[in-house]
Amino acid sequence: MRNAALLKLLGSCLAVLLMMVGCATSVPLQRAQVDSFRTGDSASDLQTKLGKSTPTLEHSFDYAGAQYLARHFNLQTGMQQSGTVVCTPTCMYIPIMVPVYTQFVIVYGDAGRTVRAYGTLEELSKSPEESISALMPGLKLAMEKAQAEKKKG
């Protein structure tokens, strides 16, 4: 009887773990990686800095006759406690630490060869550098289109 309850508890924990792994379709960026980025980095240099991090979305967009590439990542900004209740048959709360992400974008110019800008959508949109903030309306429109296509496909 006790073994059955233990098995049920382990099974529930495994299910939660699998659910979390299943949700992690991309490898997030960490703040330490972002600290190593520089505007003007070549795409290959930046790829080395990105390591195993993978984008959640990639798309191109145009601005003032030039084409840009945007790669979106999940930047891990912290952890928060979540939890689940497992009843075997007495109920207990199992706390789980869940990562918190914010959307981070890297913009490549020069036909995708160099890094033009990087930051959260909010940071880039309100950048005091006019040449950066001016890119954002076009980037966001293209992003919405790419997201819709990704959902469809």
Partner 1 sequence: MIRFLVALGLALLTSGCLTTISHYQLSQFNRGMSPPEVTEKLKKPPLVSIPVAVDGRSFVFDRYFLNNGMGADIYYLAYERNGLVFWGYVSEFRRHPDATLGHAVDKAIQVPTPAAAR
Residues engaged in binding partner 1 (CB under 8 A): 103, 120-122, 125-126, 128, 130, 133-134, 136-137, 140
CA separation for the pair 49, 41 (Å, rounded): 10
Min CB(126)–partner 1 separation in Å: 6
- Indicate the residue among 17 and 100 with the shorter CB distance to partner 1: 100
* Smallest gap from residue 111 Cβ to partner 1 (A): 25
CB 51 within 8 A of CB 73: no
Nearer CB in complex with partner 1: 28/72: 72
Cβ atoms of 98 and 21 within 8 Å: the answer is: no
> Measured from the CB of residue 105, what is the shortest distance to partner 1 in angstroms?
10
**Complex with partner 1: residue 104 or 108, whichever CB lies closer:** 104
One-letter identity of residue 97: M
Quick one: 54 or 103, whose CB is closer to partner 1? 103
Q: Sign of the CA dihedral 136, 45, 34, 54?
A: positive
Strands 57-63, 91-109: pairing kind? unpaired
